[in-house]
Structure 1
Amino acid sequence: MNNLVVMKHNGILVVDSREAAKVLGVRHSDLLRDIEKYIVTFENSENAILRSQDFFIESSYTTDGNSKDYKNYLVTEKGCEFISHKRTGQKGILFTATYINGFHAMKDALRNPVVGLLPQSYPEALRALAVEVEAKEKLMLENKELEIQLDRSQEYYSIKRVAILNGVDWRVFSWRDLKEASEDIGVPVKKIPDANYLNVNVYHHSAWGAVYPEYELD
């Protein structure tokens, strides 16, 4: 049975809808469709107490090498309970048990902030997910990590590293153009470990020079 990673978002404990879909054994797109149906029902209700944000908080995420934003939801404990009531059979039972365990573990950890109290998977997963929903924290952690990593590989540069060096938005660069230039020149595209995305692509300085000669690399 998969673990549900519970994280804190604006003071509220939530889980990522992508993680919930994995535990439920359904496609994320199908779960999104269900959640949006629930939200429409809440918003059309005459009951002023019902607020969809108490159950589901709209969010977004990006994937490595792709600047497109994809929708997801941060599901509160109430939202998990609501989803579990809509599921029957073994999957519904397992999801209920999993989300209860996840929220209880996080609440215990917050009450007892002792080093090593959380299972090994929780701090790692929390770090990876928190950077997706907390933009400022994401940028700070990512920049620091990339600076350390790229000191070990001076000939290769990531998109976000070059953006930082030049003070521009990383979205101005195209990973497809850099990849194509790398293939034309005959230099490999490498990957380096990253705390936020597991791995990020880095491109040889000659590929950068071919595609974006106007930008500084040092």
Structure 2
Amino acid sequence: MDNQLMNTSTIETIDSREVAEMIEVTHGSLLKKVRNYEEILTKSKLTSLDFFIPSEYKDTKGEIRNCYLLTKKGCEMVANKLTGEKGVIFTAKYVNRFEEMEKQIKIPKTDREILLLSVKVQEETAQRVDKLEMKVNGLENTLTIDHGQQLKLQSICKSRIISLLGGKDTPAYKELSKQLFSFIWRDFKQYFNISSYRDCLITDFENAVNYLKTWTSDNNMKLKIDLVNSQTRLEI
């Protein structure tokens, strides 16, 4: 059947369009009969869904059309209304059709079959979980730090620079802080191979924190810091 079925049942059924072909009537004619059967069953307080399940499909124009999914009971009801050779042929066709479906969806019966099915389901579930974990890990490896984490890196960097310059009120801080900020971020970006500290990966965040806390300037800068601070003290 070329037209796409919109709803499917969890139990074995045959599309009313296929049934109409089997009994050689138009689909519209079969729908009228099924609706009549539904009405009779409902009036008798019987569950029509045990026989006929309302469904829909898209026709070749993309429009939604009504159909039914007939259970084995539903097909038996239709077959009982047919007489002679036509009824026999339809019965043979729908019985064969349900046997085909049963082979495709084999329900485990023995304890061994149930156990094997359980193991298979567990293996398939484990494989899906592994794939999901791989996707999550892959996503984590591409996510960058959020605004709060960026602010934390800025704060740690500032504290480290103040410490290296001997305090925020020192002459070295006033004279050399901009240069030292430039150096620390230059080394940071080079170490983590990024163009901005904002591009730091979430997975690298803890390493980034430790890097900034322990970063130190080269020996020349240390000497320069000591010199600037000591000259000021001498002038005083």
Greater strand percent: which structure?
1
Using the size of structure 1 for normalisation, the TM-score is 0.44
Using the size of structure 2 for normalisation, the TM-score is 0.41
Q: Highest CA radius of gyration, 1 or 2?
A: 2
Task: With a CA cutoff of 8 Å and minimum separation of 6, indicate the structure with the bigger relative contact order.
Answer: 1
Greater helix percent: which structure?
2
